[in-house]
Amino acid sequence: MKITAIVAMIAAVCLSFAHSHDSVAAASGHSDTQILARASVRSGLLSPVSVVRWLRSQRAVSSAAVGRDRQTISIHFRDGPRAAILGRSQRDVAVPGLRPLLRPGAPSAAPAAQAAVWEPFAAELGLGPHAGDIEVQQLQAAGFGVDQKYDTSVTVAQIATLSRFNVVYMHTHSGVSAAGDGIVASGEPVNGDPAVAPYLSDGSVIAVGVAGSPQQYYGITGAFITRHEGNFPAGSLLFLNGCALLRSTTFWQALHSRGAAALVSWDQNGAAKDDYLSAAAFFNVMGTGQSVSAAISTLRAAGYGTSSDSGIPATLGYVGDGSVTLQSSAAAGNVQTTPPLATDTPEPTATSTPQPVATATPTSTATSTPLPTSTATSMPVPTHPPVPALISLSGVVKPGAAQRISIGNLVPATSIQIRVIFPDGEVMQGHATSDPTGHSQFVFVQADSKLTRRSLTARVEVTATTASGSATMSVQYTIGYGEIDVVAQPRILPAGGKGAILVHTRAHTAVSVTLRATNGKEKRLRGTTGKLGWVKLHFKLLPSAHRTQSVRVLAVVRLHGKKVQASTTLAVE
């Protein structure tokens, strides 16, 4: 079959982040919501097998199993809804602030071929306003009209229009269920959107969590493609730059049944930085006129298209027809055709490894193709405004562990301000200056009791300033639970005001809390944690409490025969 059009959908990393517990309630009930959120947070700290074991102990869960990618967790609740937890790509979140490497070509006045560049997690990944710019430029240079969307605007309804485009680039969370189906997250938080209700009813859309985060999103399955998508233009290619999607024959067959000619993705979990740079390199190479198969080979020869997570290697590859080029796709226009018969569907190999193999020799044209480098110091450095090109930090940090925030690709002697905003409202600040290589590092020990019951997410803001101006980028990470965490709610109270102390520790454990004011007066509270490890203890300040007085909150439990304690403070207005 001759290839005449492309749909490239990049659904990159299984990444993390920000967050409320009750957004899933409309879809799956309050109890289901809490369990999914709790299990998602546990997935950032424990193995999938351990999380599945915990899920099976919950009364509201009918069944739970590890997906075929060994990271995704499939959940079936007793009241009907199904859900999934998508694995995080790796514990270190690397965020390149890479500016476009090539100038866009002049698109035609009315391009016949259409492309979509969608970044549903641009803000969450800290990619900033330039997320997807390289892909946009290459597609415009090849003659495509480009639709660009970010974050929550990439809804389920938007994903239902995939088949209208020749090229779709989407950077999102993904995984493979226990049944072998692919799952791709939208940027739409689970919010009771009535337009999504029919998809939830037929199971083509499910609520998905992400390892290490309590937030849930709507995610599509292969059934969504077969039941609700139209037919893709002839020769369409989906580049799903996401976790393990090459392992899902079911998802690929659904796409191919709707006319998709090829799927580009990873066969395991990859690192965020590798996903980002490999995608940019892929479109740079495709912009020179190479086919998909040749571009994959060129990337591998240049050191791209490979990654790993927890020692398990990941490889970028494809299934289907690899002879597509951007130019042939644009020349074909946006004409949808009858999808191929199911019997024509090419099967991926057992390891989902693309052909030709990685050792294929790149063409002479490919060797002169400008590729983004994986080394931060050789990235092009923007000078106005100064934008950090690479921020890396640990995606999950437990209390007592060190968080190392590395910043690179800056102009030497750039002034850097760092603010860490914890979920409980406290802010830590630091200042530094980049060294002669354009790098700097900020290290601190994560304190306990900086989380809340509804959020474990800390936000890191990095502001870089030079004589030409300043720019700010932000990234996020998840705070792990300590042996005991204590939260004052609210942190500031008027004299005589009512508040609550929330303590998290091991389930079904007796907790003792002491409130000690600066004038020496004390109040004691006692309670026992529930099955999720939380207990909420209410109190009232004395009307005689002095303004500006602080109250130290000390929570104590006995674990494994020894006392363990944590503390926080609240203030009196």
Can you give the pLDDT at residue 543? Answer: 75
Specify the range with the lowest mean pLDDT, choosing from 287-291, 456-460, 541-545, 555-559. 541-545
Band (545; pLDDT cuts 50, 70, 90)? low
Band (110; pLDDT cuts 50, 70, 90)? low
Residue % of the chain over a pLDDT of 90: 24
Query: What amino acid occupies position 257?
Result: S
Task: List the beta bridge partners of residue 555.
Answer: 513, 566
Interatomic CA distance for residues 386 and 249, integer angstroms:
44
DSSP states of 376-441? GGGS----SS---SEEEEESEE-TTSEEEEEEESPPTT-EEEEEEE-TTS-EEEEEEE--TTS-EE
Closest of 350, 348, 412 to residue 386, by C-alpha: 412
Q: Looking at the predicted structure, is the pLDDT value of residue 555 above 70?
A: yes
Interatomic CA distance for residues 196 and 208, integer angstroms:
14
pLDDT digits (tens, 9 = 90+) for 497-536: 899 999 999 999 999 999 888 777 888 999 999 999 999 9
Q: What is the pTM for the complete model shown?
A: 0.59
C-alpha triplet 281, 289, 292: angle, nearest 5° = 60
Can you give the pLDDT at residue 365? Answer: 32
Can you give the pLDDT at residue 335? Answer: 66
Residues with Cβ within 8 Å of residue 430, at least 6 apart in sequence: 417, 418, 442, 444
Q: Looking at the predicted structure, is the pLDDT value of residue 109 above 70?
A: no
pLDDT digits (tens, 9 = 90+) for 478-501: 999 999 999 998 887 888 889 999
Can you give the pLDDT at residue 471? Answer: 76
Band (356; pLDDT cuts 50, 70, 90)? very low
User: Would you state the structure tokens that stand for residue 266, as one six-digit string?
Assistant: 């990873």
Q: What domains appear along the chain, each with residue ranges and CATH number? A: 92-367 (no CATH), 379-479 (2.60.40.1930), 485-572 (2.60.40.10)
Greater confidence (231 vs 123) lies with: 231
Is residue 403 within 8 A of residue 478, CB to CB? The reply is no
Give the pairing of strands 469-479 and 396-397: parallel
Closest of 519, 507, 569 to residue 544, by C-alpha: 519
User: Would you state the structure tokens that stand for residue 72, as one six-digit string?
Assistant: 């995704």
Can you give the pLDDT at residue 173? Answer: 84
Give the pairing of strands 402-408 and 390-394: antiparallel
Can you give the pLDDT at residue 44? Answer: 75
Give the mean model confidence (pLDDT) for residues 14-38. 53
Instruction: Give start and end residues of each alpha helix (H) in 287-405.
Output: 292-301, 326-332, 364-367
Q: Looking at the predicted structure, is the pLDDT value of residue 355 above 70?
A: no
Distance spanning both ends of the chain, measured CA to CA: 74
Q: What is the mean pLDDT of the chain?
A: 77
Half-sphere exposure of 433 (CA within 13 A, CB side): 5
Interatomic CA distance for residues 97 and 414, integer angstroms:
16
* Site of tokens 């600066």: 518
Closest of 384, 381, 370 to residue 411, by C-alpha: 381
Can you give the pLDDT at residue 239? Answer: 85
Specify the range with the lowest mean pLDDT, choosing from 109-118, 190-199, 455-464, 561-570. 109-118
* Site of tokens 């990234």: 475
Judge residue 22's burial from the number of C-beta atoms within 10 Å of its C-beta, 0-12 exposed, 13-18 middle, 19 or more buried.
middle
Can you give the pLDDT at residue 127? Answer: 66
Q: Please name the helix (run of DSSP H) or strand (run of DSSP E) that holds residue 506, with its range, or none.
A: none
Q: Looking at the predicted structure, is the pLDDT value of residue 347 above 60?
A: no
What is the sign of the dihedral through the CA atoms of 494, 496, 497 and 501?
A: positive
Give the mean model confidence (pLDDT) for residues 74-87. 92
Can you give the pLDDT at residue 198? Answer: 93
Greater confidence (67 vs 379) lies with: 67
Can you give the pLDDT at residue 310? Answer: 66
Cis peptide bond N-terminal to 194, omega within 30: no
